[in-house]
Amino acid sequence: MITRPETRWKILFLFTLIFLVAIVTRLIIIEKKLSYVLAEITQDSKIHVKSDKDQLLEDHPFEDEKTGDVEDHEEVVPYEKMDPEVVTVKDVPIKERYENKGIFSFTVPVTASFFNTFGRSPVIAELAEKTGNKRLAKLLSAHIARNLVFDFDMRRDIYPGDEVSAVFRTVSLEEASSREDMPDEIEILAMRYRSVKFKREFLFYAYKPSGYRFRTFFDENGYAVEKMLKNSPIREWIQITAVLNDRRPRHDGIDFKAPVGTPVYAPWDGRVLRTNWNTRYNGISLEAEVNTNPKIYMILLHLNKLHVKSGDSFKAGDHIADVGNTGRSFAPHLHYQLQRERGRTNRIIDPVKFHGTIERSVPESDKAAFESLKKEMNDLMDGS
């Protein structure tokens, strides 16, 4: 005889089983819908992949090693098939010229998070497989963000519906070790960001004008993305890789990527308060009191060499240190920090606002080459 409690348990078990079946069915339906959406995204997204064929072209894809000028290309070029019967195909699209240079281009929509945009994109995942670089999503997000931080608050100004396009190339370890500018595993050649909030697009192009030691990024009007500080502590650098408050945990200064040994100059008169503290993280370091009005404090970290010692006074423009890669540093750079009081404090000063900046632009003599580069890169980003 079945008791009342047993009947209740059987009924409860039956309802639980029905509920679980309903959940599993719903999950299967959702998974199918997501697969369909991802398939549509993959189909609509633009991927342009070029394979390595000529090592010389791979090392220098479009820039002359000595002058930095862009090679002069015609609008279309013939392609000769490598077999006994040479077949000429005319009107090859511009992107085909880069097939042997290891250059890649893409366009992806931005999701709610800028950095997750790359990590979750099937377009970037496919490019990572083709380039053999498992860190591609992380590298692309970091390199592209370095140009955006001068116009965008990366936490507040990035909207779903924005769109990012870029042209980049991979860099071999052999090439990276031979170049003065110490490139990462990839380098961005050009990028475009279409913003919902600002209702416009931002364009940036890597270019090395005559007289420049390193390539830098210029906008579509030929103005440098990175402004030079007035009374700057460093006069030549490769790229600004971090700015104030651009990441968590907080970042309290500006990082100038530069070769080891690059001179560091005193922006103002001052006096050295201490050197080489907490060297495990700071490396060779310097803290100074500088004679501004009001008085502020300057911190330099990850240095290679000091030319002053604790208690020394210095004048504006004095060569006080050299850029290094000491302490908790992953590449040679200068960490430059200003604050209104000593020690760990929230009274951090934005060096860009405190110094003021000097506008830099492409010289008149380079404008024709720069315009040619812009067209070349725009065509690649448009997928023509």
pLDDT attached to residue 30 = 57
**Residue 263 lies in domain:** 229-356
Q: How far from chain centre, in Å, is Cα 301? A: 22
Nearest to 219 by CA among 361, 384, 346: 361
Q: Are residues 137 and 238 in the same domain?
A: no
For residues 94 and 41, give the distance between their C-alpha atoms in angstroms, rounded to a whole number.
Answer: 25
Q: Are residues 243 and 208 in the same domain?
A: no
Place of tokens 């907080």: 250
Asked if residue 265 is part of any domain, the answer here is: yes
Q: Are residues 296 and 307 in the same domain?
A: yes
Q: Are residues 215 and 346 in the same domain?
A: no
Specify the number of domains making up the chain.
Answer: 2
Q: How far from chain centre, in Å, is Cα 101? A: 21
- pTM value? 0.72
**Residue 373: phi, psi to the nearest 5?**
-60, -45
Asked if residue 189 is part of any domain, the answer here is: yes
pLDDT attached to residue 154 = 86
Q: Which two tokens stand for residue 335?
A: 């960490």
Exposed, middle or buried: residue 219 (CB in 10 Å: 0-12, 13-18, 19+)? middle
Q: What is the CA radius of gyration of the chain?
A: 27
For residues 185 and 175, give the distance between their C-alpha atoms in angstroms, rounded to a whole number.
Answer: 10
Asked if residue 5 is part of any domain, the answer here is: no
CATH code of the domain in which 327 resides: 2.70.70.10
Asked if residue 139 is part of any domain, the answer here is: yes
Give the three-class secondary structure for 170. Answer: strand
Q: Dihedral, CA atoms, 370, 373, 374, 376, nearest 10 degrees?
A: 160
For residues 64 and 96, give the distance between their C-alpha atoms in angstroms, rounded to a whole number.
Answer: 20
CA angle 82, 382, 153 (to 5 degrees): 135
Q: Are residues 196 and 308 in the same domain?
A: no
Alpha-helix runs per DSSP H in the chain: 4-44, 55-59, 114-119, 122-131, 136-148, 173-178, 279-282, 351-355, 367-382
Q: Are residues 62 and 110 in the same domain?
A: yes
Nearest to 131 by CA among 171, 82, 178: 171
**373-383 b/e with 16+ CB inside 10 Å = b?**
bbebbbbbbee
Asked if residue 348 is part of any domain, the answer here is: yes
Q: Are residues 272 and 140 in the same domain?
A: no
Q: Are residues 78 and 198 in the same domain?
A: yes
For residues 367 and 221, give the distance between their C-alpha atoms in angstroms, rounded to a whole number.
Answer: 10
Q: Are residues 149 and 272 in the same domain?
A: no
pLDDT attached to residue 4 = 61
Neighbours of 149 (CB within 10 A): 18
pLDDT attached to residue 112 = 73
Asked if residue 31 is part of any domain, the answer here is: no
Asked if residue 6 is part of any domain, the answer here is: no
Q: Are residues 133 and 239 in the same domain?
A: no
pLDDT attached to residue 5 = 61
Residues 219, 207 contacting (CB under 8 angstroms): no
For residues 190 and 58, give the distance between their C-alpha atoms in angstroms, rounded to a whole number.
Answer: 17
Asked if residue 10 is part of any domain, the answer here is: no
pLDDT tens, the chain, 384 aa long: 545 666 777 777 777 878 777 776 766 655 555 554 444 444 444 434 443 333 333 333 333 333 333 333 333 333 233 333 333 334 445 555 675 678 999 999 998 788 889 999 999 999 999 899 999 999 999 999 999 999 998 888 999 999 999 999 999 999 999 999 999 999 999 999 999 999 999 999 999 999 999 999 999 999 999 989 999 999 999 999 988 866 656 788 999 999 999 999 999 999 999 999 999 999 999 999 999 988 999 999 999 999 999 999 999 999 999 999 999 998 999 999 999 999 887 789 999 999 999 999 999 999 999 999 999 999 999 974
Q: Are residues 267 and 139 in the same domain?
A: no
